[in-house]
């Protein structure tokens, strides 16, 4: 299983990768400049599944050196297996630039990612004690709600300061459900094509 962390600089991509893997495998620190400047890869067994995590730079950063090289590396790493895209957004900081982030990423990566994307909110510790992520989503702005709908209403919240494994287990369950849904859709498409072929053959036999 391959997980691709996407999003703006400072959203918490690297910290989320470390949370998923259960150890500090990506550099994560407070900085006014982007910390991740190239694609980085780490692999580990997570909840009994071998997981490869790809930490990416901010592809929309105008100061990113050789952006095409990083995009190509990301695309190459995703070939040959199921990639799940984690679109990382910091709670309470949905910026103007993030409004069209999904469309920009699909254009940059030259592939449709929304059907295999999960919104990963960071800074979950900013939620009020009586506030759930579901209530936050229900009451958030329409632009963010639209993005969530585009990603099939799939989202998870992380507190990257918390080492408890429940949030990672919840994410892995949502990824497993996404994979199962995609497998079922693929089966239905294949069955539909087979049924069409059988129908065409039947018509040809009648005409003969």
The pLDDT score that the predictor gives to residue 171 is 96
For 65-78, how does the pLDDT look when each residue is reduced to its tens digit (9 = 90+)?
787 888 888 888 88
pLDDT tens readout for residues 98-136: 888 999 999 988 889 999 999 999 999 999 989 999 999
Q: Where does residue 128 fall: left (phi above 0), alpha (psi -120 to 50 degrees), or beta otherwise? A: beta
So what's the pLDDT on residue 192?
54
pTM recorded for the entire structure: 0.82
- Percent of the chain at pLDDT > 70 equals 88
Position 26 scores a pLDDT of: 92
CA nearest to 56, candidates 24, 81, 34: 34
Sign of CA dihedral 115, 120, 121, 125: positive
Q: 42-62 burial, b if ≥16 CB within 10 A, otherwise e?
A: beeebeeeebbbbbbbbbbee
pLDDT at 165: 78
CATH code of the domain in which 158 resides: 3.40.50.300
Q: What is the pLDDT of residue 184?
A: 63
Of residues 72, 78, 8, the one with CA closest to residue 36: 8
3-state secondary structure of 179: helix
Higher pLDDT, 196 or 92: 92
On whether the CB atoms of residues 60 and 102 are closer than 8 A, the answer is: no
Number of C-alpha atoms within 13 angstroms, CB side, residue 187?
6
Q: What is the pLDDT of residue 16?
A: 95
Domain that holds residue 92: 2-207
Quote the pLDDT of residue 31. 56
Chain centre to alpha carbon of residue 58:
14
Instruction: Look at residue 203 in the predicted model and tell me its pLDDT.
Output: 73
Mean pLDDT, the chain, as a whole number?
Answer: 86
* Comparison of pLDDT for 156 and 98, the residue scoring more: 156
Q: How many domains does the chain have?
A: 1
Residue owning tokens 């095409």? 68
* Tens-digit pLDDT profile for residues 160-208: 988 777 999 999 999 999 988 777 655 454 555 655 676 677 777 777 6
Tokens for 114, please give them: 């929304």
């Amino acid at each position: 299983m391959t997980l691709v962390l996407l999003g703006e600089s400072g959203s918490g991509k690297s910290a989320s990768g470390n949370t998923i893997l259960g150890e500090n495998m990506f550099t994560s620190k407070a900085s006014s400049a982007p910390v991740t400047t190239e694609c980085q890869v780490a692999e580990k067994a997570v909840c009994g599944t071998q997981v490869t995590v790809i930490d990416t730079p901010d592809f929309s950063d105008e100061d990113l050196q050789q952006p095409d090289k990083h995009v190509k590396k990301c695309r190459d790493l995703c070939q040959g297996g199921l990639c799940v895209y984690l679109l990382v957004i910091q709670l309470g900081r949905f910026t103007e630039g993030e409004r069209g982030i999904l469309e920009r990423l699909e254009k940059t990566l030259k592939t449709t990612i929304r059907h295999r994307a999960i919104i990963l909110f960071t800074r979950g510790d900013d939620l009020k004690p009586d506030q759930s992520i579901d209530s936050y989503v229900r009451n958030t702005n329409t632009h963010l709600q639209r993005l969530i709908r585009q990603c099939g209403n799939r989202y998870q919240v992380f507190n990257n300061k918390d080492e408890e494994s429940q949030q990672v287990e919840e994410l892995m369950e949502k990824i497993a459900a996404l994979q199962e849904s995609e497998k079922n859709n693929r089966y239905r498409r294949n069955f539909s094509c087979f049924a069409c072929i059988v129908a065409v053959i039947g018509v040809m036999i009648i005409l003969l």
